[in-house]
Each structure stands twice: as C-alpha cells, then as structure tokens.
Structure 1
Amino acid sequence: MSSSSRRSLFRPCIDLHEGQVKQIVGGTLSADATASLQTNFVSRLSSGDFARLYRQHGLTGGHVIMLGPGNDQAARDALAAWPGALQVGGGINEGNAVQWLEAGASKVIVTSYLFPDTKFSLERLKAISSAVGADKLVVDVSCRRRGDKWMVAMNKWQSITDMEVNQESLDLLSEYCSEFLIHAADVEGLCQGIDQELVKKLGQWVTIPTTYAGGARDLSDLDLVTHLSGGRVDLTFGSAVDIFGGKLVRFEDLVEYNQRYSITS
C-alpha cells in the first residue's frame, strides 16, 4: 500500500438506550424481550458529555444512534453540544428527518423506514432523500449473515429484510445518499473481531464514504480495515474502548491515530 493511499479512520459513536449512553450486544436487542438484553456498559456521563469529548479532539463523522424509544432528548443534547458535526439515527423517517437536521445533526441516518413490512421501498428512499437532500442522508445498511450472504436487518437488527448487501444494492442506494453506516449485527458488541470478509467486500463495493461497526477490539484493527478495504471503509469502536468501560483499546490512542493519518486522508 503506497504512502499516498487513504487510511481507514476511527469514527466515534454514541449509542442511546432508554436515554442513557450504553454499549449493547446488538444481536440481543428486541422490542419486548428486555430480559434477553445483554448490556456491556452503562455510562454515568451524559450524551452531551461524549459529544463534547469528541468535539474537544476533533473527531468528525460520529453517529448518535437511538436504540428504541425514550432517547429523543438525549440525542438532542448530544447534537446541541456539537451542532453540525454528529449524525443521528434511530426512528428517522420522511416526516421527522428535517427536524433532526434543524436540531443540529450533520446528517440523518435511515434504516427501518426504507423497509415497510421488511420489503425495500425505493419510493420511500426517494422521498426522504428529496426531503433532506442526498448530501444530508446516510443509509444504514446494517446486516446479518445468512449463509454466504449478508442481508439488511432492521427493527433493532431483529428483522431480516429482502435486501442483500452487494454491489447492486449499494450502487442503487448510493444514488440517493452520501454515506453508508454498516453495523455487522452478528458481531456487534462482542469484541471478538470484525467481520473481515464483509469489510473486504465493502472495500470492493462502496463508492461513497462508509463506516463499519462491529467487533473491533484492538487498535491494529484500523490497520486491518485499511488493508482489507483499501482505506475505503472507516471503523467504529464501541465496547472495547476504555471510555465505554472496555479494557482493550485506549481512547487516547484512537485520537492519536486519527491525528496522525487524517491530514493525508
């Protein structure tokens, strides 16, 4: 890899559940079976505190994800702490997307709204893209593995849709948005390693900025994602990081990494 090639960068996150900043094993989320929910970390700090931390260190491209109801105010607090710098997702639709931009989101992230009854709706994609502008829209193509394929998952990653994540689907979606966010739900929150095959495929398929989340557990994963994707995919760390109660990755090391490579990326 030449020295002029782009490096994959760290992208921060704020995951909200019941109004608190948490790190959750993605595959255990459901609408009503809270007893099965596996939570890795619940922060004593507010969403705004994390937004201010990211602002202090100039960590751009971060996303605020509302996992279920009861998170609107916490999301607004994060956006208010760093207006125009954080993306927001979770329950975003054509009707409320503009409101979230007005609340300070840099972009809105959409998933479930695009899949009524788990079926992809190009009409809905066109509608929300028209409402906010493609440059303000991120499509979350979070997925779960089914055999040798990855299928888009919605409804807190519990419902499998009819869309396969592949070159064709990503090309179609990219006509109406400016960025992808991809949670590998099967490994989300487990700190057992990224889905290397998926990251490699994404590097071949994507033509717009893309952030992958799921399984990152070591600072060297940034080098691994750079290698696998050709630097076309950025990486989110969650449960492994010390600011989220993890013991595997130091937040200050991620900051230093971005400072070192973002100038040329």
Structure 2
Amino acid sequence: MTRFRPCIDLHQGQVKQIVGGTLRDEGPGPVENFTAEQGAGWFAGKFRDDDLRGGHVIQLGPGNDEAAREALAAWPGGLQIGGGIRAENAAEWLEAGASHVIVTSWLFEDNVRFSENRVKALVAEIGSERLVIDLSCRRRGDRWVVATQRWQTMTDLEVTPATLDALAEHCDEFLIHAADVEGLCGGIDAGLVELLGSWNGRPVTYAGGVATMDDLLQIDRLSGGNLDVTVGSALDLFGGSGVGYEDLVAWSRRAG
C-alpha cells in the first residue's frame, strides 16, 4: 500500500510551498503557494510525534543550511536531506542527523551528463544504504527526462525501468518529482506514476500534483501500491484545502 512521506521544502531559510517549474536563477522570483510562520524544526517535530518516517527536507537554493540543520536536529534519523549534496559534504549531513542524503545535480557533469564515476565516489564515501537518488523529471512528449538545477536544466538521462535497474545497486531509494505538475494541485502525472509503479526494485517516492485524497487513491491503484507519495501545496498543514494532514496520518497508520 502506498505510504505518505512528509516533506519540508526550504527556500531562503523558510518553509515554503513553491510551484516547481517557476524556480529560476535569474528573473522574477518563484511562485509561492505558502510561506510558513513556523520554523523547519516545528514541522520536523510534528512529523516525529506522528511517526511519519522517511520524509525529506529539500533545500531549494542557498541560505537554507541553518533551517535544514534545525529540522534534522528535531528528528535525528527520521528525515532525509537534499539540495546541494555532493561527495564532499554528504557525510557531514548524515552526522547532522539525516538518515539519508538525496542527490541529483551533483551526479551530472555540467548539470547535464550523467556521471557513473560520481555515483561511485558518493557510494564510496557514505555507502549505498544512505543514498537516495533523485530523478526528478520533466515530460518531453512520451518521455520523462531528468532535470537538474532546481528543475531548470534538462539532462541526458531518461527515467525508464532500465535506468532504475542500472542505478538501483548504488542507492537505497529513489525520489522522483514530476516537476511539470509540482505545486499546481492540478492532478498527478498518471503516466509517470504507472511507469514507476511497474518497476519492482528499490522504494520509490513520487511527488507532484496531488490535489485531493482521490489522487492518493489513484496513485495507490495505478502503482499497485508500489509507490510512496509526498503531498505539498494541497495539504492543509501548508495552507492548502484539498488534503487533510490528519487524514494522511490515519492513511499512514493503515499502510503500516
């Protein structure tokens, strides 16, 4: 059965929900759906108290180290950390309390060309059991292509069962955002969910587009219960109206 994985997205040191496709290095700032009054540690403590394990803290750009460390300190071993992770600092984040590090952009030379050597270097540093490979992607016709640099740069790697097979030996889990629907609360990318659900390997967490509890039911059905899911902008905890946090806590308890 699909499990709910909580998330803490950090932007400029604050917990926010952002429309994923609007993140840019230059030009106008991203479209923000929600900015929390509480700090990252408050959310981490809430997830700890409700025993929601395997969630992720994502640093969207610079200026988030302090908030990320606050979250990890609130629940040592309960959260994963992503954003700016590379071989040189991965162990440091594990020591700060992360259960796993989540890596995308650093695995690609020039943010475009996938590097098996970098994957191996990271595994040599921390072990595959502490690594989550992030293959967040954008749709290009009938394909899904991994995007780096806060989903701005398209890479040479497609999300396919063959790709997952090749990378599975190097990691413990995969995290995959459907970047085109991330933050829009307009429904999931059903094609991507079906593709990911058809693969039986490492645990995979899907993110993007969840608007209501019906979307969770659809993910569970389309994936055969093989995918976990995270919910952001639709969640009442983050100012949304489509999904109740307490409903997800109850869902997770049923999933075990």
TM (normalized to structure 1)?
0.95
- Matching of residues 30-69 of structure 1 within 5 Å: 30-33=24-27, 35-69=28-62
Alignment correspondent of 1:74 = 67
- Asked if the contact 1:171/1:206 (under 8 Å) is kept, the reply is no
Gaps of 5+ in 2: none
Alignment correspondent of 2:92 = 99
Please, which of 207, 225, 231 is the counterpart of residue 231 of structure 1?
Answer: 225
Aligned residue pairs total 255
* RMSD, aligned α-carbons: 0.8
SS state of the match for residue 93, structure 2? helix
How much has 1:36 moved relative to structure 2? 4.4
Alignment correspondent of 2:248 = 254
Please, which of 101, 104, 117 is the counterpart of residue 111 of structure 1?
Answer: 104
How much has 1:29 moved relative to structure 2? 0.2
In structure 2, relative to structure 1, the CA distance for the partners of 1:206 and 1:68 (3 Å cut) is farther
Alignment correspondent of 1:121 = 115
Task: Give the whole-Å Cα distance in 2 for the aligned partners of 1:47 and 1:113.
Answer: 24
- Matching of residues 118-157 of structure 1 within 5 Å: 118-157=112-151
Q: Return the letter of the residue paired with 1:220.
A: D
Task: Give the whole-Å Cα distance in 1 for the aligned partners of 2:165 and 2:255.
Answer: 28
In structure 2, relative to structure 1, the CA distance for the partners of 1:32 and 1:206 (3 Å cut) is farther
Q: Return the letter of the residue paired with 1:78.
A: A
How much has 1:187 moved relative to structure 2? 0.2
Q: Return the letter of the residue paired with 2:145.
A: M
Alignment correspondent of 2:205 = 211
SS state of the match for residue 207, structure 1? coil
TM (normalized to structure 2)?
0.98
Please, which of 13, 16, 20 is the counterpart of residue 26 of structure 1?
Answer: 20
Alignment correspondent of 1:192 = 186
After the TM superposition, list the runs of 4 or more consecutive aligned residues in structure 1 that deviate by more than 4 angstroms.
Answer: none
Alignment pair present for 1:88 and 2:81: yes
Task: Give the whole-Å Cα distance in 1 for the aligned partners of 2:125 and 2:193.
Answer: 31
Task: Give the whole-Å Cα distance in 1 for the aligned partners of 2:58 and 2:117.
Answer: 24
Task: Give the whole-Å Cα distance in 2 for the aligned partners of 1:30 and 1:206.
Answer: 34
Task: Give the whole-Å Cα distance in 2 for the aligned partners of 1:24 and 1:64.
Answer: 14
How much has 1:168 moved relative to structure 2? 1.2
Alignment correspondent of 2:238 = 244
Task: Give the whole-Å Cα distance in 1 for the aligned partners of 2:150 and 2:245.
Answer: 27
How much has 1:88 moved relative to structure 2? 0.1
Deviations 1:114-148 (A, max 9, x none): 01121000000011011111000000000000111
Deviations 1:7-33 (A, max 9, x none): 101110000000000000000001122
Task: Give the whole-Å Cα distance in 2 for the aligned partners of 1:129 and 1:94.
Answer: 8
Task: Give the whole-Å Cα distance in 2 for the aligned partners of 1:161 and 1:250.
Answer: 36
- Asked if the contact 1:180/1:208 (under 8 Å) is kept, the reply is yes
How much has 1:233 moved relative to structure 2? 0.5
How much has 1:227 moved relative to structure 2? 0.9
Gaps of 5+ in 1: 1-6
